[in-house]
Chain A
Amino acid sequence: MAETGRETILEIKDLSIAYPISIGTVRAVEDVSLPVYKGEVLGLVGESGCGKSTLGLSVLQLMKPPGRVSGGSIIYRGRAGEARDILAMGQKELLDLRGKNIAMIFQNPLTSLDPLVSVADHFVEAIQVHESEVKRKNAIERAEAILGDLGIESRRLAEYPYQLSGGMRQRIMIGLALILHPDLLLADEPTTALDVIVEAGFTELLMKLKRQYDLTVVLISHNLGLVAEMADRIAVMYGGRIAELASVDDIFSRPLHPYTKGLMDCVPNILLDQKELTAMPGSPPDLVNPNPCCPFAPRCPKAMDVCRSKTPRLVDYGGRSAACWLYERKD
């Protein structure tokens, strides 16, 4: 389903992730196919339980057991050009991949940094794990360089996480993620724990670094304002599946899927004079032992009979795709 002429750095195909529980299986991610193009910012949007975080973790095989991939592949095409299936990688290859080729930053900077380790040592460790021959002095020089890009004074290297503010810690996190110059950055709700002004600064920084380090970014977030600002394309997830995948303009101005439409209508926009917010009734679906149907059907204002009995597939409609029986031929 990748567009012709555009290189993909990551190709997720028919990925399914499930967790066994006592009463059945939770299908956290189901049949997800998603290309990530080189140099873009892809927003992965959805509410809690939609599977976006699980999907993100699975790219680096960071899911905690008993969650496991039950099908599909994640093909990574790095700078060297070779294509490898991340899900087929052994432990050693994965350790090499993480940090060097693909990096990830998380939501809570407070718990992501080791409180007993100084900032400098964080960087030294990050470097030496992959390049064990690098001397400490050189590692610190590289850390200083990247701190400059992050807008942090080098005196902070000697400090410990508790001495830094939340925004600064989050910037250190990006620094650690980018110190080895990966080509893909996954960001899982990176600004959720930040104040709004700090968040805006962080967003600016992330865009600057993306250009400077020639990155591809997958931004996982439930914050529509954030993805509107940063993303080129957006994948909307619901019930473990991709509901819609399109350019950011199309998603916001011309959404196809009723869920996407519903989301757009219920988020307040400070620039508009909104008298009413249209709310979606109901709550996200239970992902345990799902029946074949569209996961959004119970809440969908446009639900038809077929929606409740057959699961729609993600179909391409000229450069954008949606999984909805309103558009797909019911055969």
Chain B
Amino acid sequence: MAFFDTLLGGLQLNENKNEAGADRARFSPASGLAKALGAFSEAARKYRVEWWILVAGILVVGLIVFMTVFPAIFTRFDPNDQSAGPQLGAPSFAHFLGTDNLGRDVGARMVYGARTILGVAIAASLLSALIGIPLGLISGFAGNWLDKVLSLVMDSVYSFPGLILAIAFAAMLGPGVINITLAVSVVYIPTYFRLVRGQTLQIKEELYVEAARAIGARKSVILAKYVFPNVIATVVVVFSLNIADAIMTEAALSYIGLGLPAGIPDWGMDLSMGKKFLPSGVWWMITYPGAMIMLLALGFTMLGEGLSEILNPRLQEY
């Protein structure tokens, strides 16, 4: 989609405008700028609300991702440094977001914590997708005993409350970033499976699948070239929404205290710590982790919802 290329161009320009102090010299020739802005405003007119939601989502997610890649731009403190500042220091010029009970800069913990939560959430979602999608494709297409067995298994897992399942796995596997990732991913495998299986069942009946058989394509080829490309659009949307959910799950797990060793900054854990000190009037330890979790999850949700409008191939022009 050519429009996406110009879209990317337009957005990079926007990001540059937002980053006060960002030292990115991204050269765009004037014609490229005009084209990008043109495509941007055309798309804005076309999709209205959904467009702005998508833009908002991209901005939020983009910002936080940027933060994970270049943390030094946002904070000069080490998140684990207990001598960074006074204990339980309120937000001040020296520490914008205050310090926690161990003297660590809250702002730094927010910045570096993003890596943890984002890393786990994305890795878990990817893993779920990598397992759930092929299984869904094969199951939906085969339709025989294999489908029945897999559906049974997946439906059982799916009917389990996600958080409890994650807790069970996390407790079983023990602490560690990889283990937490595995625990979270198990929860979402059925999501991809069911989605892809449902789509496959539908697409299987389409005339173009029959046509593919008529020209001699083998089942594996049909799955790869005819079914999968038509399923992928919905999957991409779900992927983003899934990450939002995985963020919440990971935060919940570490809030409970499962999974992550102490040395790794984590918003969920900070949230849990902050709760303890709230009664004594220390509001900054709990507010910022909570806000960040919410912001990140919201960002991915908006990204997913916005994408779902855009990527629908049979979009009505009205």
- By secondary structure, the B interface counts as helix
Is A274 positioned at the interface, with any CB of B under 8 Å from its CB?
no
Interface range for A = under 10
Is B318 positioned at the interface, with any CB of A under 8 Å from its CB?
yes
- Give B316's nearest chain A residue, CB to CB: A21
Q: How far is the CA of A277 from the CA of B283 in the complex (A)?
A: 84
Is A281 positioned at the interface, with any CB of B under 8 Å from its CB?
no
- Give A20's nearest chain B residue, CB to CB: B318
Q: How far is the CA of A21 from the CA of B46 in the complex (A)?
A: 8
Provide the B299-318 mask, 1 if CB < 8 A to any CB of A, else 0: 00000000000000000011
Q: For residue A21, which residues in chain B have a CB less than 8 angstroms away from its CB?
A: 317-318
Interface range for B = under 10
Q: How far is the CA of A67 from the CA of B59 in the complex (A)?
A: 35
Q: How far is the CA of A274 from the CA of B46 in the complex (A)?
A: 49
Is A22 positioned at the interface, with any CB of B under 8 Å from its CB?
yes
Min CB distance B232 to A, Å, is: 25
Is B42 positioned at the interface, with any CB of A under 8 Å from its CB?
yes
Is B45 positioned at the interface, with any CB of A under 8 Å from its CB?
yes
Is A19 positioned at the interface, with any CB of B under 8 Å from its CB?
yes
Provide the A271-289 mask, 1 if CB < 8 A to any CB of B, else 0: 0000000000000000000
Within 8 A of B (CB), among A10-60: 19-22
Q: For residue A19, which residues in chain B have a CB less than 8 angstroms away from its CB?
A: 318
Is A5 positioned at the interface, with any CB of B under 8 Å from its CB?
no
Q: For residue A81, which residues in chain B have a CB less than 8 angstroms away from its CB?
A: none
Q: Which of A19, A21, A22, A66 has the most CB of B within 10 A?
A: A22
Min CB distance A158 to B, Å, is: 34
Q: For residue B42, which residues in chain A have a CB less than 8 angstroms away from its CB?
A: 22
Q: How far is the CA of A20 from the CA of B318 in the complex (A)?
A: 7
Q: For residue B45, which residues in chain A have a CB less than 8 angstroms away from its CB?
A: 22
Q: For residue B46, which residues in chain A have a CB less than 8 angstroms away from its CB?
A: 22
Q: How far is the CA of A66 from the CA of B48 in the complex (A)?
A: 15
Q: How far is the CA of A214 from the CA of B45 in the complex (A)?
A: 51
Q: For residue B318, which residues in chain A have a CB less than 8 angstroms away from its CB?
A: 19-21, 66
Min CB distance A27 to B, Å, is: 14
- Give B45's nearest chain A residue, CB to CB: A22
9 A-B pairs within 8 Å (CB atoms) are namely A19-B318, A20-B318, A21-B317, A21-B318, A22-B42, A22-B45, A22-B46, A22-B317, A66-B318
6 new A-B contacts at CB < 8 Å, known A19-B318, A22-B42, A22-B46 = A20-B318, A21-B317, A21-B318, A22-B45, A22-B317, A66-B318
Which 6 A/B pairs are nearest by Cβ-Cβ distance?
A: A22-B46, A21-B317, A66-B318, A21-B318, A22-B45, A22-B317
